[in-house]
Copies of this chain bind each other. A is one copy, B any other.
Amino acid sequence: MKRIAVFTSGGDAPGMNACIRAVVRGAMYHKVEVFGIRRGYSGMIEGDIYPMTSRDVSNIIQRGGTILKSARSRRFTTAEGRQQAYDNLKALGIEGLVAIGGNGTFTGAEIFFNEFKIPTVGAPGTIDNDLYGTDYTIGYDTAVNTSLDAIDKIRDTADSHDRVFFIEVMGRDSGYIAIQSGIGGGAEFVVVPEDLSEPVSSVIKTLKQGFVKKKSSSIVVVAEGEKEGRATEIAEKIKKSIDVEVDIRVTTLGHIQRGGVPSAYDRILASRLGLGAIEGLLRGQKNVMTGIVNNRLVYTPFIECITKDKPISDDLLRMVHILS
């Protein structure tokens, strides 16, 4: 393999730039030419592809977002779009790809390989930490720290006014951000999508215990779940059904969780995974995602990453209960 390309796709995550840097520098170290594709599959179809060198990735390790940009591409879901993408890669002599992204990204790569035999190695870039095949995804640690910083700030206000705060964090199918920022923030209760029981009565029970213990303020962390607004919904129900007088507020952290200077953990993880991806690709890996499992670099077939669940440990849910 003489020439490869790297791109980012799906929601951006802090540390993606550190990963791009590792791919580019790793490629150069192994004397392989490397191209950057802008805006993921969109840029692949539009031919927005340019050669990269070591200098293009200078001084980006600490930057949030992705210098290669990201976008959704409807055209890549069509055979015509993928053909165009392939033609562009072929014209440039690109023989392999490193894809930084999540489920959707790897699904696209899998389909693309089946049609055109261009191998891809993936690196897991998503704040949600919901990918099977790696203990942590790039951006997750930063997102938890950002949420925690927000929870710390809100605790100041909650304590000053003896209020109950419902804080909604990101996490559509996965409560990882919620559970870890809940434990770290000393939350009294955490609502996660994985728990299918109706949380309202449990929250009420916990809050009442707090009143008995004379806790003057409480924090409930809620993963957004299906769609934004879950915290508001739960808070409304509780306001109606609680008999003690409490001052309840809701705040939704929103997009701040995706941005920011990547944490040490994310920079190192992204560097390891980026280097693992390029070196895996050069050694013949294909259609696998690189991950860190039990501190070791592993490659897992895309198909497993996409289809298998990564459940939250019961230990963590137990910790919230004991420590609050």
Contact = CB atoms under 8 A, between A and B. Distances in A.
Interface in A248-294: 249, 251-256, 258-261, 263-265, 267-268, 271-272, 275, 294
Contacts of A183: 267-268, 271
Nearest to A53: B213
Contact of A213 (B54, B135, B160): B54
Q: Which secondary structure dominates chain A's binding surface?
A: helix
Contacts of A61: 184-186
A58 interface: yes
A156 interface: yes
Contact of A144 (B156, B214, B264): B264
B258 A153 contact: yes
Contacts of A254: 251-252
A155 interface: yes
Nearest to A270: B184
Interface in A107-164: 135, 141, 144-148, 150, 152-157, 159-162
Interface of A: 8, 12, 14, 21-22, 25-26, 29, 39, 54-55, 58-59, 61-66, 69-71, 135, 141, 144-148, 150, 152-157, 159-162, 165, 180-181, 183-186, 213-215, 249, 251-256, 258-261, 263-265, 267-268, 271-272, 275, 294-295, 315, 319, 322-323
